[in-house]
Amino acid sequence: MKSIRSTFMTFALFCMSGTLSVFAATDHSTLVKGPFKTGEEVTKTCLKCHTKQAGDFIKTTHWTWKGTPNHLNGKQKSTEKYGKANMLNAVCTSIEGGKDGVVHEQCSKCHAGYGWTNTKFDFSDESKVDCLVCHAQKGNYAKAIGGNVDKKAMEKGSMSLDLAAQSVGVPTRNNCGSCHYYGGSADSVKIPGIESTLEKKDRKLDVHMGTKASGGGDMACQACHTTKNHKIAGASSMTAHYDERVNCENCHAGAKAPHQKSKNGAILAKHAGAVACQTCHIPYFARSQATKMEWYWSEAGKDIKPEEQFDKETYVKKMGRFVWGMNEKPMYAWYNGTIDHYMKGQVIKDPSKPVVITKPVGTIKDITAKIYPYKLFKGDLPMDATFKYLSIFQHYKSYWVDYNWEKALLGGAEGSGLPYSGKYQFVKTASYFSLSHEIAPKEEALQCGECHTGGTRLDWKALGYNGDPMITGGRRSKPFDRKNQ
3-state secondary structure 345-381: CCCCCCCCCCEEEEEECCCCCCCCCEEEEEEEEEEEE
User: Residue 479's pLDDT band (boundaries 50, 70, 90)?
Assistant: low
Q: Any residues with CB less than 8 A from the CB of 137 and at least 6 apart, and which? A: 167, 168, 169, 172, 175
pLDDT at 340: 98
pLDDT at 219: 95
Between 24-38, 140-154, 350-364, 390-404, the lowest mean confidence (pLDDT) is in 24-38
Are residues 23 and 137 in contact, defined by beta-carbon separation less than 8 angstroms?
no
Are residues 279 and 372 in contact, defined by beta-carbon separation less than 8 angstroms?
yes
Residue 485, domain member (yes or no): no
CA gap 458, 462 in Å, rounded = 9
CA gap 472, 74 in Å, rounded = 33
Burial-class residue 117 by CB neighbours within 10 Å (0-12, 13-18, 19+).
Answer: buried
Residue 8, domain member (yes or no): no
| Calculated CA dihedral for residues 34, 39, 41, 47, nearest 10 degrees | 100
pLDDT at 25: 55
In which element (H, E) is residue 107 found?
Answer: helix 104-107
376: closest CA among 352, 354, 348? 354
Residue 27, domain member (yes or no): no
Residue 483, domain member (yes or no): no
424-434 vs 355-360, strand pairing mode: parallel
Q: Any residues with CB less than 8 A from the CB of 254 and at least 6 apart, and which? A: none
Are residues 267 and 259 in contact, defined by beta-carbon separation less than 8 angstroms?
no
Torsion angles phi and psi, residue 137, rounded to 5: -110, -15
Q: How far apart are the first and last CA of the chain?
A: 68
Are residues 355 and 342 in contact, defined by beta-carbon separation less than 8 angstroms?
yes
pLDDT at 10 over 80: no
User: Residue 485's pLDDT band (boundaries 50, 70, 90)?
Assistant: very low
User: Residue 480's pLDDT band (boundaries 50, 70, 90)?
Assistant: low
pLDDT at 119 over 90: yes
CA gap 435, 237 in Å, rounded = 9
Burial 277-299 (b: 16+ CB within 10 A, else e): bbbbbbbbbbbbbbbbbbbbbbb
Measured CA distances, 299 to 165, 304, 320, 440 (Å): 44, 10, 5, 36
CA gap 410, 422 in Å, rounded = 8
User: Residue 264's pLDDT band (boundaries 50, 70, 90)?
Assistant: confident
Measured CA distances, 392 to 105, 395, 405 (Å): 16, 9, 11
CA gap 347, 404 in Å, rounded = 25
- The number of domains in the chain is 1
Q: Any residues with CB less than 8 A from the CB of 185 and at least 6 apart, and which? A: 91, 92, 319
CA gap 13, 200 in Å, rounded = 37
Residue 17, domain member (yes or no): no
Q: Any residues with CB less than 8 A from the CB of 248 and at least 6 apart, and which? A: 277, 278
pLDDT at 30 over 90: no
Between 62-71, 109-118, 194-203, 425-434, the lowest mean confidence (pLDDT) is in 194-203
- Domain with 145, as residue range(s), is 32-446
> Model's pTM, two decimal places?
0.91
% of the chain surpassing 70 pLDDT: 93
Average pLDDT of the chain? 92
pLDDT at 476: 63
pLDDT at 9: 37
pLDDT at 267: 87
Residue 22, domain member (yes or no): no
Residue 304, domain member (yes or no): yes
Write the DSSP assignment of 428-447 as a string of letters.
EEEEEEE----PPPGGGSPP
Residue 291, domain member (yes or no): yes
pLDDT tens, 345-367? 999 999 999 999 999 999 999 99
| Calculated CA dihedral for residues 143, 144, 147, 148, nearest 10 degrees | -70
